[in-house]
Amino acid sequence: MADPQLSLGDLTLGEFVDRLASEEPVPGGGSASAVAGSLAAALLAMVARLSLGRPKYAVYQSTNERAISLAESARMRLLQLADDDAQAYGRFAAARKLVKETAEQQAQRAAAIRAAARAASEVPLAVVRECAVLLDEISVVAGRSNLNAASDLEVGARLCAAAARGAAANVMINLPQVDDERYAGVSTAELNGLLQDIERSVSRVAQRVARGTLRDPEPA
């Protein structure tokens, strides 16, 4: 049996995929989405590193140095969110298994489900937020980094968008269980806005990569 205390980030790729393919409910789609986002961050870091120390890209040094810092932070944060998602779902599953024989037990179970569902929606929403910031940075770096690795940057952008969409699906499926219309409304509005920003960023990256040219450095 898998060690529930072992971080997903400590597994080999093969071990993670094996766990994902097993009959166990965690890790599931939420964790997979967060891991996909972490891979996107790693690709951004790689492209930025491939741009440093090369005369052709010297004018973009500050942009790529910042991108590395942001990408490293994002990939670690997203791996942590993969663990958080698995734990949140575990608590939700446990709440649903609580006994419900008496009225008091039913009330306690309902309250536990609401609290667990809220956490299970907040974690994937945090993944979407992280992906939105990451994609914005990828968009800035496109055309200001190593052109030989431009396709890797686009792969990162598309992975990041997929991660956000997957996480968003988990937000939406958990919100009804929270049983709080105001919270659901605020969360849904934020989620829709983030996804729109993400789609625009992906489009910008794809267009910039397709041009195959460099652009002006960021304004000072």
Helix (H) / strand (E) element for 184: namely: helix 181-211
* 21 occurs within a structural domain: no
Give the number of domains in the chain.
1
Half-sphere exposure of 178 (CA within 13 A, CB side): 21
Query: What's the length of the chain?
Result: 220
* 4 occurs within a structural domain: no
pLDDT in tens, 178-211: 999 999 999 999 999 999 999 999 999 999 999 9
Closest to 136 in 3D by CA, of 192, 198, 79: 198
pLDDT in tens, 90-136: 899 999 999 988 999 999 999 999 999 999 999 999 999 999 999 99
* 99 occurs within a structural domain: yes
* 2 occurs within a structural domain: no
* 16 occurs within a structural domain: no
* 148 occurs within a structural domain: yes
Residue-number span of the structural domain to which 192 is assigned: 28-211
Q: Which amino acid is at 164?
A: A
* 22 occurs within a structural domain: no
* 12 occurs within a structural domain: no
Q: Cite the beta strand spans of 57-138 per DSSP E.
A: none
Q: Output the CA–CA distances (angstroms, integers) from residue 215 to 116, 146, 147, in the order listed.
A: 47, 12, 11
pLDDT in tens, 73-82: 999 999 999 9
Q: Average model confidence (pLDDT) for the chain?
A: 94
Distance (Å, whole) CA 213 – CA 220: 21
pLDDT in tens, 85-101: 999 998 999 999 999 88
| Mean predicted confidence (pLDDT) in 154-159 | 98
| CATH number of the domain that residue 184 is part of | 1.20.120.680
pLDDT at 5 over 70: no
